[in-house]
């Protein structure tokens, strides 16, 4: 589905992830991927459907950093930096100290904080 999404076939890519989530309803990866696919499909906006998919992934694994990281990424890509920051901070808090990807999340959070600091108030 990633290749389809990147090639501009968002409908097909989203349908494939949705079929996967229906076939494997306990898959954290598929629900997180569905949230991402729906946000991309819906014009780069975290739509109610995308939020529902991310929320399902979070309910399945509340202590896993992937759902909040990718939900935060979807918000950042939509331009809602402050909301994205909330999710990235949660992802960082959930990431084990020795995880190889922890520094990447921390770096993104620092860069996002710098962007937010430059934004006009309100």
Q: Helices (H), strands (E): how many in the chain?
A: 7, 0
Residue entry with tokens 């620092």? 110
Residue 7's CATH number? 1.25.40.10
pTM of the model: 0.88
Please tell me the distance from the alpha carbon of residue 89 to that of residue 69, in angstroms, as a whole number: 8
Domain hosting 55: range is 2-118
Does 4 have pLDDT greater than 50?
no
pLDDT tens per residue, range 7-65: 555 566 788 888 989 899 999 999 999 999 999 988 999 999 999 999 999 999 999 99
Question: What's the total number of domains in the chain?
Answer: 1
Please tell me the distance from the alpha carbon of residue 50 to that of residue 63, in angstroms, as a whole number: 20
Among the listed residues 55, 117, 56, 106, the one whose alpha carbon sits nearest the alpha carbon of residue 82: 117
The contacts of residue 40 (CB under 8 Å, 6+ apart) are 5, 10, 13, 14
| DSSP designation for 46 | -
Task: Compute the average pLDDT of residues 88-112.
Answer: 98
Structure tokens at 87: 């999710």
8 Å CB contact between 70 and 105: no
């Amino acid at each position: 589905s990633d290749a389809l999404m990147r090639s501009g076939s968002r409908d097909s890519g989203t349908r494939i992830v949705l079929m996967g989530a229906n076939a494997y309803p306990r898959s954290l990866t598929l629900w997180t991927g569905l949230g991402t696919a729906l946000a991309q499909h819906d014009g780069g906006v975290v739509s109610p459907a995308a939020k529902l998919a991310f929320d399902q992934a979070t309910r399945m694994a509340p202590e896993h950093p992937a759902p909040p990281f990718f939900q935060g990424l979807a918000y950042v890509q939509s331009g809602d930096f402050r909301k994205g920051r909330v999710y990235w901070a949660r992802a960082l808090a959930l990431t084990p100290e020795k995880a190889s990807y922890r520094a990447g999340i921390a770096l993104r959070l620092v860069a996002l904080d710098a962007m937010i600091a430059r934004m006009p108030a309100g």
